[in-house]
Amino acid sequence: MAFDIDMIKKVYAQMAERVDKAREITGRPLTLSEKILYSHLWDGTPSKAFQRGKDYVDFAPDRIACQDATAQMALLQFMQAGKKSVAVPTTVHCDHLIQAKQGAAKDLMRANETSNEVFDFLESVSNKYGIGFWRPGAGIIHQVVLENYAFPGGMMIGTDSHTVNAGGLGMVAIGVGGADAVDVMAGMPWELKFPKLIGVKLTGKLNGWTASKDVILKVAGILTVKGGTGAIVEYFGPGAKNLSCTGKGTICNMGAEIGATTSTFGYDDSMERFLRATDRNEIADEANKIREYLTGDDEVYENPEQYFDQVIEIDLSTLRPHLNGPFTPDLATEVGELGEKARKNDWPLKVDWGLIGSCTNSSYEDLSRAASIAQQAIDKKLKSKSDFGINPGSEQIRYTAERDGLLDVFENLDATIFTNACGPCIGQWDRSDRKGEEKNTIVHSFNRNFSKRADGNPNTHAFVGSPEMVAAIAISGRLDFDPMNDTLINEDGEEVKLDEPVGLELPPKGFAVDDNGYLAPTEDGSTVEVKVATDSERLQLLEPFVPIQDSELQGVKLLIKAFGKCTTDHISMAGPWLRYRGHLDNISNNTLIGAVNAFNKKTNFVKNQLTEEYGGVPDVQRQYKAQGIKTIVVGDHNYGEGSSREHAAMQPRFLGVAAVLVKSFARIHETNLKKQGMLGLTFANEADYDLIQEDDTFNFVDIADFAPNKPLTIEVVHKDGSKDVIMANHTYNDAQIKWYREGSALNLIKKQNA
């Protein structure tokens, strides 16, 4: 059903040869991360050593996973490639569009009503193009991937930042934007800057109240939210072998919170146990045959300082439980010290909710350890002082946990069991107890706790901990509760103490599930019709972009000269606009509305040169478009930083912007502009930014000679008729110039497929 053993056998068959070659070329032993990277080169067997943090390298990932919010535009784009089916195994998971409110059954029914057109579209497009489809309620993407698709030594990409979770099963799994996923689905290579490497050596063994979650909470405290940027975090050492596979998943999952490219662990017995428990004996057998290739070389782990760019050591035996927050996941505090800190900072001590689950912490082990605390509360006649909400990670976990009585335990404490979906973790939480913006505290076992993340309230102070610690804190109702030392008063007025949590790594009776929610695609999808209603406001089939003609690049009008920071959020805002992610025309109404106009320092207020009137950016742009006039956007440094969302390039392109000329680009956005067939240019002389005036018109005088390494000449005509001639640099290579000439990268692929 799910995994593709032939593909895995192929990966393993070439791994030995490629890793041996990489060792020879680099002249040294290799880390696990390097083994996986070098064995997934697009060009096959390695022929040169790459410089970490410098070289851009083309890779050939083994799998792709998409979630329902990001899959919409990715698949709409993929349909443009003219392919019969996806080039690598791909799955779509419906987990983000389900709101948590009254409990699983009702919430799922409501989601199926409100988002049915999106689900129907995703199901039909998956069926047509050979993509595995996981229905709403089947589970959270990363847990489903860990249970079904992840395999040691593999490389995958996913259109969600927590794709990194699959590192728990020894993968290099990386979160990407939709445009990257589309490339790989269409059979193109995937480019990544060869990452730096951070080694985390784990010694000792977890004990008492300390959980796997505390490892990453500690690491986040050390490295901070930016400390992992551009790096793979590789965990090793005797302590790593003592962690469960799903515990490793938790640690890798939150690697996203330190900005890491991904995190991973070497193949070991815990992974083998998990593979066998999840019905994947064949993978375990194959992995066992090449075990030494699925972990770092001994010499690397014996002298990590020599081979990693940075090394951290953590002794699990002495690690203490943490609660990180509020508002940032790297504000690490040991339980027991939080009360004082909270009082000093005036954080509310009363805890309103304890939320357990999300892709980070929703394994069987997690639920069993938290349930052991909940059961004690019942046995010791304690009533939970906070509300409880539980999001199981998958239907398989939910079904098994129900069979084994774990869910009953939570329900006996009046917990609400939400759908197997993201829910409060992505702000899909219709919270009943607080509707205003009052200051309040919640604890959860999720990964992110930024302001407004769970419930949209900027005054909700969210603290991140392990599931068992969340359970204990929720039962006590107090943020300063330390279950290792403090007691609670029960219904009979007696003082009681919670014992240490106990849990089960894997269900003793095995996993079970009735309907796991998976729909395999049909063999031949050629007759399958993709479902998109013509009057839909959330979905719209894409039309291929028409190539920009050289003649259209004379008399180009300035749309906006953006001042200061202009991130992808300024170019294509999130929030309520997420609803239109699959409808390019509708979402284009947010184009650049967050950018600051350099001439009046206002947002969404630019001059229409045709009418001399001021208006919103999308409105003014649509008026230029109606007249067939192309426009240009001028920007400052690092234009387009932030997320990799392709909408930030597609929307201006759709509305008729032809060029973006800036002091410098965030690289991913620059590439996205190229892919959409636009001109992404930088000022050869940064000071020329100051020459641009509000009523300027631009003539691209030598666009007919557009070629690699040759700057373009632009004549800037001011309102009074005076002119400045400026030079614009670009980084287009031959292939990318073809994308531009064809109107987009996908147009070119389609042409090549025809």
Angle at 444 between CA 442 and CA 449, to 5 degrees: 80
Question: Are 171 and 62 in contact, with CB atoms under 8 Å apart?
Answer: no
Q: Which of 171, 176, 426, 595 binds ligand F3S (CB under 6 A)?
A: 426
Stretch that binds ligand F3S, among 135-143, 181-189, 371-379, 406-414 (CB under 6 A): 135-143
In DSSP notation, 284-304 reads HHHHHHTGGGGS--HHHHHSH
Q: Which of 140, 260, 560, 678 binds ligand F3S (CB under 6 A)?
A: 140
Closest to ligand F3S by CB, 220 or 426: 426
Stretch that binds ligand F3S, among 118-126, 139-147, 190-198, 612-620 (CB under 6 A): 139-147
Distance CA 414, CA 25 (A): 60
Q: Give φ, ψ of 194 to 5 degrees.
A: -55, 120
Q: Answer whether the bond into residue 152 is a cis peptide, omega within 30°.
A: no
Rounded to a whole number of angstroms, the minimum distance from the CB of residue 160 to ligand F3S is 5
Stretch that binds ligand F3S, among 134-142, 485-493, 497-505, 513-521 (CB under 6 A): 134-142
One of 95, 330, 480, 482 is an active-site residue; which one?
95
What are the helix (H) ranges across 186-303? 212-223, 238-241, 245-253, 269-277, 281-289, 298-302
Q: Is 447 in the site for ligand F3S (CB under 6 A)?
A: yes
Closest to ligand F3S by CB, 422 or 617: 422
- Which of the residues 659 through 718 are near ligand F3S (CB under 6 A)? none
Strand partners, 199: 234, 311
Q: Is 250 in the site for ligand F3S (CB under 6 A)?
A: no
Exposure pattern of 245-268 as b/e (b: 16+ CB <10 Å)? Answer: bbbbbbbbbbbbbbbbbbbbbbbb
Distance CA 358, CA 422 (A): 6
Q: Which of 18, 162, 201, 653 binds ligand F3S (CB under 6 A)?
A: 162
Closest to ligand F3S by CB, 160 or 183: 160
Sort strands 332-334 and 322-324 into parallel, antiparallel or unpaired. antiparallel
Q: Is 180 in the site for ligand F3S (CB under 6 A)?
A: no
Q: Which of 100, 314, 377, 425 binds ligand F3S (CB under 6 A)?
A: 425
Q: Is 141 in the site for ligand F3S (CB under 6 A)?
A: yes
Closest to ligand F3S by CB, 141 or 184: 141
Give the three-state DSSP class for 100: strand
Question: Are 633 and 661 in contact, with CB atoms under 8 Å apart?
Answer: yes
Q: Could you tell me the CA-to-CA distances from 720 to 105, 334, 689, 690, 694 in Å, in that order?
A: 67, 66, 18, 17, 12
Number of alpha helices (DSSP H) and beta strands (DSSP E) in the chain: 26, 30
Rounded to a whole number of angstroms, the minimum distance from the CB of residue 358 to ligand F3S is 4
Closest to ligand F3S by CB, 451 or 490: 451
Rounded to a whole number of angstroms, the minimum distance from the CB of residue 246 to ligand F3S is 14
One of 244, 372, 643, 744 is an active-site residue; which one?
643
Closest to ligand F3S by CB, 254 or 294: 254
- Which of the residues 349 through 388 are near ligand F3S (CB under 6 A)? 358-359
Distance CA 635, CA 598 (A): 9
Question: Are 277 and 255 in contact, with CB atoms under 8 Å apart?
Answer: no
Rounded to a whole number of angstroms, the minimum distance from the CB of residue 426 to ligand F3S is 3
One of 40, 63, 96, 142 is an active-site residue; which one?
96
Closest to ligand F3S by CB, 425 or 633: 425
For tokens 């080039």, the residue is 87
Q: Give φ, ψ of 681 to 5 degrees.
A: -125, 155
Q: Is 324 in the site for ligand F3S (CB under 6 A)?
A: no
One of 62, 68, 107, 160 is an active-site residue; which one?
160
Q: Is 138 in the site for ligand F3S (CB under 6 A)?
A: no
Q: Which of 123, 160, 234, 742 binds ligand F3S (CB under 6 A)?
A: 160
Stretch that binds ligand F3S, among 137-145, 465-473, 484-492, 524-532 (CB under 6 A): 137-145
Rounded to a whole number of angstroms, the minimum distance from the CB of residue 576 to ligand F3S is 17
* Residue 188, H or E segment: none
Distance CA 485, CA 498 (A): 9
Distance CA 629, CA 634 (A): 16
One of 398, 645, 669, 730 is an active-site residue; which one?
645
Distance CA 444, CA 104 (A): 18
Q: Is 422 in the site for ligand F3S (CB under 6 A)?
A: yes
Rounded to a whole number of angstroms, the minimum distance from the CB of residue 95 to ligand F3S is 6
Rounded to a whole number of angstroms, the minimum distance from the CB of residue 162 to ligand F3S is 5
Closest to ligand F3S by CB, 444 or 674: 444
Distance CA 348, CA 370 (A): 24
Rounded to a whole number of angstroms, the minimum distance from the CB of residue 100 to ligand F3S is 11
Distance CA 325, CA 217 (A): 10
Rounded to a whole number of angstroms, the minimum distance from the CB of residue 142 to ligand F3S is 6
Closest to ligand F3S by CB, 46 or 249: 249
One of 135, 142, 162, 448 is an active-site residue; which one?
448
- Which of the residues 607 through 646 are near ligand F3S (CB under 6 A)? none
Residue 276 catalytic? no
Closest to ligand F3S by CB, 8 or 140: 140
Closest to ligand F3S by CB, 359 or 629: 359
Angle at 225 between CA 451 and CA 249, to 5 degrees: 95
Stretch that binds ligand F3S, among 136-144, 150-158, 561-569, 721-729 (CB under 6 A): 136-144
Residue 160 catalytic? yes
- Which of the residues 494 through 553 are near ligand F3S (CB under 6 A)? none
Q: Could you tell me the CA-to-CA distances from 407 to 26, 235, 372, 374, 385 in Å, in that order?
A: 52, 32, 11, 10, 19
Stretch that binds ligand F3S, among 14-22, 114-122, 318-326, 421-429 (CB under 6 A): 421-429
- Which of the residues 73 through 112 are near ligand F3S (CB under 6 A)? 95-96
Distance CA 207, CA 721 (A): 77
For tokens 């929720």, the residue is 474
Question: Are 132 and 93 in contact, with CB atoms under 8 Å apart?
Answer: no
Stretch that binds ligand F3S, among 420-428, 449-457, 582-590, 743-751 (CB under 6 A): 420-428
Strand partners, 100: 429
Distance CA 591, CA 573 (A): 8
Give the three-state DSSP class for 245: helix
Stretch that binds ligand F3S, among 119-127, 419-427, 670-678, 740-748 (CB under 6 A): 419-427
Angle at 55 between CA 50 and CA 60, to 5 degrees: 80
Count of residues touching ligand F3S (by CB under 6 A): 13
Residue 645 catalytic? yes
Residue type, 19: V
Closest to ligand F3S by CB, 100 or 655: 100
CA contacts within 13 A on the Cβ side of 454: 33
Q: Could you tell me the CA-to-CA distances from 544 to 74, 533, 654, 680 in Å, in that order?
A: 14, 19, 10, 19
Closest to ligand F3S by CB, 257 or 480: 257
Residue 461 catalytic? no
Q: Which residues are catalytic?
A: 95-96, 160, 448, 643, 645
Residues contributing to the site for ligand F3S (CB under 6 A)? 95-96, 140-142, 160, 162, 358-359, 422, 425-426, 447
